[in-house]
Amino acid sequence: MSAPLLQVEHLSKSYGGVQAVRDVSFTLRAGEILALIGPNGAGKSTCFNMLNGQVRRDSGRVLIGGRDTAGLSPRRVWALGVGRTFQITATFASMSVRENVQVGCLSHQGALGRLAGYAGARAREEAEALLALVGMEDAAERPCGELAYGDLKRLELAVALSNAPGLLLMDEPTAGMAPADRVDLMRLVAAIARERRIGILFTEHDMDVVFEHADRVMVLDRGRLIAEGAPEAVRRDPLVQRTYLGEGLLYEKGAA
């Protein structure tokens, strides 16, 4: 059997004496959708930032396609075929929607060092194909700054797909969206993942999204993985109910 797409072993990180992530291990296979949930401050973002090289880990290993990513910067991790979207959308605000995707495509082609030739005319078809994939082909010419929040999230997805990634890291992909849009976006993500055999790791607070789309769910609390498994099993786990889903006082029973 070949190496799993993503293999995390004993990952730890502390900030000024506070352990943000302790001894986290898990694997993710191609085409699998894995959710990482837990209370705010549980270490989800730190975990994410270590996976894509933004934060240096204290100890442990992260293997992407069998390759250890120790010491790699985010752009090197991207070159390994990892796409990333951010909790608070990050886009290139001075560019049009298509130009945002073009930057990703040109970077993937290694063409961003060229000092001549109008970039707006390059990698146009690739960019338009990706926009069509996320249903934004009609917005290609619009300035990125005038997009609604849900559209920005879809644009981010298109940019994240521009290097044909095998692994997609999505930090709260539906935060701040209306319920109907959330479901649409996640269905889109799930369809793309299955079709292209992309492994997806995402964090999320919306339990509807988590339980509908994840193949597996991991629960992080105070930096430690406290549960991992199929959505139904995690939902019923008494420890998870106590620390995150709650005992009914603060969260809807059953519906959670």
Q: Which residues bind other proteins (CB under 8 A)?
A: 16-17, 39-41, 52, 54, 73-75, 78-79, 84, 86, 90-96, 99, 102-104, 106-108, 111-120, 122, 143-146, 149, 159, 162-163, 175-176, 178-179, 243, 246-247, 249-252
In the complex with other proteins, the residue whose CB is nearer, 134 or 159, is 159
- Using alpha carbons, select from 102, 171, 191, 182 the residue that is nearest to residue 149: 182
Nearest distance, CB of residue 41 and other proteins, angstroms: 5
Sign of CA dihedral 126, 128, 132, 136: positive
In the complex with other proteins, the residue whose CB is nearer, 35 or 170, is 170
| CB of 112 closer than 8 Å to CB of 106 | yes
In the complex with other proteins, the residue whose CB is nearer, 26 or 244, is 244
In the complex with other proteins, the residue whose CB is nearer, 103 or 210, is 103
In the complex with other proteins, the residue whose CB is nearer, 80 or 215, is 80
Nearest distance, CB of residue 1 and other proteins, angstroms: 30
Q: Tell me the DSSP string of 65-94.
A: TTEE-TT--HHHHHHTTEEEE-SS----TT
Would you give the end-to-end CA distance of the chain in angstroms?
37
Nearest distance, CB of residue 228 and other proteins, angstroms: 20
C-alpha distances in Å from residue 216, one per residue of 32, 35, 64, 219, 230: 8, 6, 19, 10, 5
Nearest distance, CB of residue 139 and other proteins, angstroms: 13
Q: Which two tokens stand for residue 37?
A: 């949930």
